[in-house]
Structure formats: C-alpha cells, structure tokens
C-alpha cells in the first residue's frame, strides 16, 4: 500500500523541492489541465511534456503509474458512447471534446500518481496539515490513512478465509455472506476505534493533532512554487 513511502533511493531533483511546494504545484497543474479548452492540443502537449519531465527528473517509475490508468476505462466507455451518439445527432460533444477528456483525465491521474509517489501520502498529508492548520478534516484524513492499512489487512484476511472455502451457489447468498463480513468488520473496527480512542486520550489528545515544529517555507521555494502557479494560469488564459 505505502510501498512508495519508505523507499530507499538516491535523492532526485524532485527531492530538493519542499513537499508543500510539490503539492501546490500538482494542484495547479491538475487545475490547468481541467481548465484548458477542448482541443487545445499544443497546450495539452506542453503540459504533458512538463509532466513527463517531472517523472524523469524524479526517477518515478512511469510504468507503475501507467498501471493506474485502467481505472478510467468505464468512464471512457461512457464518454465514448456519448460522443458516438452525439456525432450522429446534431448537437452534443464532438471528437475534440472526447479526445480532450481522454487526454486530460489521464494526465490528471498521472499527476496525482506522481504526488502519491513523491512526496508520498504521509508527506502529502503533512503538507495539508501545513496549509489547513488545525483543521479537523485533515486530522481525520491523517488518522484514516493510518488505519486503512490496519483494517484493510483485516479485511484481506477475512476475504482469504472466505474464498478458501468457496462461494455459495446463489447470488443472493453471496451478497448475504459479503454483508455479514462487512458487519463483522464493523464490529471489530468499532472495538478497535474504542481502544485507539483510549490510547489517544491517555496521552492527552483533545480533538485536533497537536502542532509539531513547523518548518518555515523558504522564500526561494515559495517563489518557485508561485511562479509555477502563475505559469499554469498563463497556459490556461493565454491562447
């Protein structure tokens, strides 16, 4: 799950950028991709080049990221169907729109995958804690991410135990078995939640993560980040 977070590797160019700035840049990049007009292929190309450059500079395994793309398939089917029907009707979306969705959605996904690799989920969440200081939602996200590992492992063990015993023949029964497993997982999670709550309270927790040392953002880093954001805005605005 967090196979990427504890990687041991030579520091790359990307590692010299402050995590908080990387997060900012990815958000600006994704926003730019989402805002480009349909069929602005030069600009799509420029952004794609930028993304590829980041992958190369960060020595991020592109193949690993490309493996996430099939997530988009169902939506592409839907969009493709719609484009096909529209092309036979009078109004609606054309080929440009269809291709722009294909390209844009993929680029956005790859940018998010890059962020999940470097700086990685934990540092990303820490950056969010910096931007949204004292936010309850960010505390919730951080803890959720931590416990997903534990509870998913529990769910996997249950699924393995179920699958090793085969499935009931009727779909209805299979749904019921899945439901019981979910219910059981809930009860176990509730007990765990109680114990975690105790452990946190025992150490003086009062509802929001205490703030640790906040490294100030170096102004060079901040300037670079803001320049990047401005460039993204320019790409969108200037045709």
Partner 1 sequence: MHMPDRVLTPEVWATLDVASVGLVGGAVYKTRQRLEPRDAPLMAVMAAFIFAAQMVNFPVALGVSGHLIGATLAAVLLGIGPAVLIMTAVLVIQALVFQDGGLMALGANVFNLALVAPVVGYLVYGTVLRHARGPASPQVAAFLGAWLSVVATAAVAGIQLVLSGYAAIAIIPGILLWHLAIGIGEGLITVAALQLVWKAKPEMAPISGEAEPPRIGRTTSVVGLLAVASVLALALSPLASPSPDGLERVAHDAGLAEEFEHEPILPGALPDYTTPGVEGEAASTAIAGVIGVLLVLIPLAAVVWLITWGKGQEEETAQDAA
Partner 2 sequence: MPVLEVESLEYKYPTGVSALGGVSLAIEPGERVALLGPNGAGKSTLILHLNGILLCQQGEVRVDGDRVEKRNLAEVRRKVGLVFPNPDDQLFMATVAEDVAFGPRNMGLDEDEVDRRVGRALEAVGLPGFEERMPYHLSTGEKKRASIATVLVMEPDVMVLDEPAAGLDPRGRKGLIELLKGLPCALLVATHDLAMAREVCSRVLILDGGKLAADGPVDDVLADTELLLEHGLA
CB of 112 to partner 2, least distance (A): 19
Task: Give the tokens for residue 134.
Answer: 């004292």
Query: H-type helices in 89-239, by residue range?
Result: 95-117, 121-131, 136-163, 171-202, 219-237
Of the candidates 108, 142, 109, 139, which has an alpha carbon nearest to the alpha carbon of residue 124?
142
What is the spatial distance between Cα 118 and Cα 60, in angstroms, rounded to a whole number? 8
**Which range binds partner 1 by CB under 8 A, 6-14, 112-120, 213-221, 224-232?**
112-120
Q: Is 171 a binder of partner 1 (CB under 8 A)?
A: yes
Q: Please report, as residue ranges, which positions from 45 to 84 form the binding site for partner 1 (by CB under 8 A).
A: 68, 71-72, 74-75, 78-79, 81-82, 84
- For partner 2, the closer of residues 59 and 126 by Cβ is 126
Q: Using CB distances below 5 to 8 A depending on partner kind, what does residue 124 bind out of partner 2, partner 1, none? A: partner 1
Is residue 40 near partner 1 by the rule CB under 8 A? Answer: no
Stretch that binds partner 2, among 40-48, 66-74, 110-118, 141-149 (CB under 8 A): 141-149
| C-alpha–C-alpha distance, residues 92 and 104, integer Å | 19
> Cβ distance 48 to 235 under 8 Å?
no
Instruction: Give, in order, the Cα–Cα distances in Å from 215 to each of 158, 211, 235.
Output: 42, 11, 31
DSSP 12: -
| Identified binder of partner 1 from the candidate list 150, 161, 223, 234, rule CB under 8 A | 150
Residues in contact with partner 2, shown as a per-residue x/- string from 24 to 43 under the rule CB under 8 A: --------------------
Give the residues lining the site for partner 2 (CB under 8 A): 2, 5-6, 122, 125-126, 142-143, 145-147, 149-150, 192, 195-196, 198-206, 209-213
């Amino acid at each position: 799950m967090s196979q990427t977070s504890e990687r041991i590797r030579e520091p790359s160019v990307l590692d010299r950028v402050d995590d908080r700035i990387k997060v900012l840049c990815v958000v600006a990049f994704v926003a730019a991709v989402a805002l480009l007009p349909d069929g602005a292929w030069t600009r799509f190309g420029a952004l794609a080049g930028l993304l590829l450059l980041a992958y190369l500079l960060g020595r991020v395994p592109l193949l690993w990221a490309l493996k996430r793309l099939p997530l988009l398939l169902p939506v592409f089917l839907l969009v493709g169907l719609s484009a096909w029907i529209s092309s036979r009707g009078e109004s609606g979306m054309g080929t440009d729109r269809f291709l722009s969705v294909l390209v844009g959605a993929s680029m956005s996904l790859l940018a998010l995958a890059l962020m999940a690799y470097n700086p990685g989920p934990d540092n990303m969440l820490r950056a969010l804690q910096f931007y949204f200081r004292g936010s309850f939602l960010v505390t919730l996200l951080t803890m959720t991410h931590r416990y997903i590992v534990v509870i998913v492992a529990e769910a996997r063990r249950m699924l393995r135990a179920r699958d090793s015993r085969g499935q009931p023949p009727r779909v209805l029964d299979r749904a019921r078995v899945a439901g019981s497993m979910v219910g059981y997982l809930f009860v176990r999670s509730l007990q765990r939640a109680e114990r975690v709550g105790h452990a946190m309270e025992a150490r003086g927790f009062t509802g929001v993560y205490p703030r640790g040392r906040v490294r100030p953002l170096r102004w060079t880093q901040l300037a670079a980040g803001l320049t990047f954001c401005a460039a993204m805005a320019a790409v969108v605005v200037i045709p």
